[in-house]
Amino acid sequence: MRKVPALSPRPGEDRRSWLSGAPPPRWVRVLPPALVVVICAATLLSHEPLEIGFLLGAIPPLAVLSYGPLATAVLGGVVIALLHIPALRLDRPGDADLLTIVFVAVLSVFVSFVRSRRDAQLGLERTVAEAAQRAVAPPLPERVGAVRCTGLYRAAQRGTLVGGDFFDVRDGPFGVRVVTGDVQGHGLSAVATVASLLGAFREAVLDQPDLASVAGQLDRRLLVDSADARHAELFATAALLEFSADALEVRVVVCGNPPPLLLRGADATELEVSPWTPLGLGLADAGAIEACTVSLRPGDRLFLASDGVVEARDDSGAFYPLAERLRGFAGEDPAALVDLVWADLVRFCPDVQDDVTMLVLTPAPPALGMRGPVPH
């Protein structure tokens, strides 16, 4: 089964800058040899001697940014050789100038060696961190039971794959169950809470007979974790869904999270769900939680978004009009919907400060799935 890389950046996208560990852009790598070519061409084409030989001294330090020690040493040797070619008229340096350039070249080779070792170590640490974070929140399957799934996750803290938001879709003896939510805090400090909640949810999918009991188990998990940590006061918002066997009926429990939106035809409406307190504040009686039951039709889609989407503001302070924008994307393929909303959200609010989670769930019973995509 093909996996959808819900937590990883899209192809070609690296949210780190090249000054923060990402590979340098191509122009940085091209700059040292390009500077050699430009200097040589300028001196050969000029009828008068040009005193620009000093520019060659910048080539070894520039090479440090993107080249290894061997390539940096080669470029340093090229610089020294060019200064001694009479046809280039680069003013043959005296002993002091030559020693200075040699020193800069040797120092650049040493710095390049240190940078290469550091980059290798950072690369290893990032690989280990990504593996650990993917263990907490693995890629979302394209289909779970009778439900097709598409998800998008963007952590607010650059360089991380998991932040304070979470979601999961699991099949179990009581049907396909879904959780999406937002824990207190952001970035790596929230990962432990996310891992604890997802672990509790995956157990509850197998053990708890109804959705209210699942919410109660998540609430107890946070209460226990908070009791073990002094002044922790952990809490999380969440929305939980449970699909019937044919995926044409869904039960919804919302604990402080934005309610799901139902996309039916060209319309997008927010489900009318009785809100409950966030998880971790102590649900007095899980049996008192009322699950909203919604009948679904072929072609319906459920769109779940975190508060990082619905609370994003533009320069004027206006909130992102999610339901209105979804109506404009009504005819789009569900697999592309989260990418379209994300691109539109970034145009609306270029500086998104919160974790962003989006999840599209499309009922697709096996009988419907065999006939191909559900028409909109």
- Distance, in Å, from the CA atom of 107 to the CA atom of 114, rounded to the nearest integer, reads 11
Burial of residue 295 (number of CB atoms within 10 Å: 0-12, 13-18, 19+) = exposed
Phi-psi category of residue 292: left, alpha or beta, with phi > 0 → left and psi -120 to 50 → alpha: beta
Q: What is the mean pLDDT of residues 257-273?
A: 90
Query: Tell me, what's the pLDDT at 371?
Result: 44
pLDDT value at 92 more than 80: no
- Distance, in Å, from the CA atom of 179 to the CA atom of 202, rounded to the nearest integer, reads 10
Angle (nearest 5°) at CA 281 between 198 and 178? 30
pLDDT value at 98 more than 90: no
Query: Tell me, what's the pLDDT at 233?
Result: 62
pLDDT value at 295 more than 80: yes
Query: Tell me, what's the pLDDT at 305?
Result: 93
Q: What is the mean pLDDT of residues 59-77?
A: 91
Write out the two tokens for 228: 């073990």
The pLDDT > 90 percentage for the chain reads: 32
Query: Tell me, what's the pLDDT at 354?
Result: 83
